[in-house]
Amino acid sequence: MGGAAVVSSGKRGRKSLDAGINLVPFIDLLSCYISFLLITAVWVNLGSIEAKTPPTSSGADGERDTETKVTLTLTSSGCVLARSTGEEAQLPRIAGQLDEQGLSRRLAMVRSALPKQHEMTVRSQDSVQYSDLIKTMDLARGAQFSNIQVTPWSE
């Protein structure tokens, strides 16, 4: 393997205390590790969606209360896209699957109606599969909602 080679050119036939260490295998292994870490670091950044928790309301943000808030609620029967103005659109599941095309159209309509709105809150029941939550967040990002907040389900 890669050990130390003891040099036998000491005085009067004794072994020398100097050892020559072969660093080539160590450098090869280190270069493989570094290249692997650099390649996988890019995949970690590409495969992530930033989701934030909503800030606690302190009452100091008067202007933020006047903005229209968009909430997307995922349930086992479908999803509900609602605004704080009271408008609500329900999208039932089709054959047990999310209506991705219908949801994408609804998100685009909300986005065109509220061009300055970049925030959205996604709520999900415990019975909803994680893959459905991720699909929903992908569709929201596709509709240019850049600040997606994920909150737990509350009645």
In this structure, the answer to whether residues 78 and 143 fall within a common structural domain is yes
State which residues form the domain around 72. Answer: 54-152
The predicted model scores a pTM of 0.58
Count of the separate structural domains present in the chain: 2
Tens of pLDDT, residues 12-39: 667 777 777 888 999 999 999 999 988 8
**Same domain, yes or no, for 127 and 69?**
yes
Q: Say if residue 78 is in the same domain as residue 129.
A: yes
Q: Say yes or no: 77 and 37 in one domain.
A: no
Do 72 and 104 belong together in one domain?
A: yes
Residues 123, 107, single domain; the answer is yes
Q: In terms of domains, do 96 and 144 share one?
A: yes
107 and 138 fall within a common domain:
yes
Write the pLDDT tens digit of every residue in 52-61. 665 665 554 4
- When pLDDT is cut at 50, 70 and 90, the band that residue 113 belongs to is confident
- The whole-number pLDDT of residue 62 equals 46
Specify whether 67 is located in the same domain as 83: yes
Q: Which two tokens stand for residue 145?
A: 């909602």
Dist. CA 10–CA 37, nearest whole Å: 44
137 and 83 within one domain: yes
Helix (H), strand (E), coil (C) string for 16-63: CCCEEECCHHHHHHHHHHHHHHHHHHHHHHHCCCCEECCCCCCCCCHH
Convert 85-139 into a string of H (helix), E (strand) and C (coil).
CCCEEEEECECCECCHHHHHHHHHHHHHHCCCCCEEEEEECCCCCHHHHHHHHHH
* Residue 153: pLDDT band with limits 50, 70, 90: confident
Whether residues 25 and 65 share a domain: the answer is no
Three-class SS state of 154 = coil
Could you tell me the sign of the dihedral formed by the alpha carbons of 65, 89, 108, 43, in that order?
Answer: positive
pLDDT at residue 125 greater than cutoff 80: yes
94 shares a domain with 37: no
CATH number, domain containing residue 136: 3.30.420.140
Grade residue 64 by pLDDT with cuts at 50, 70 and 90: very low
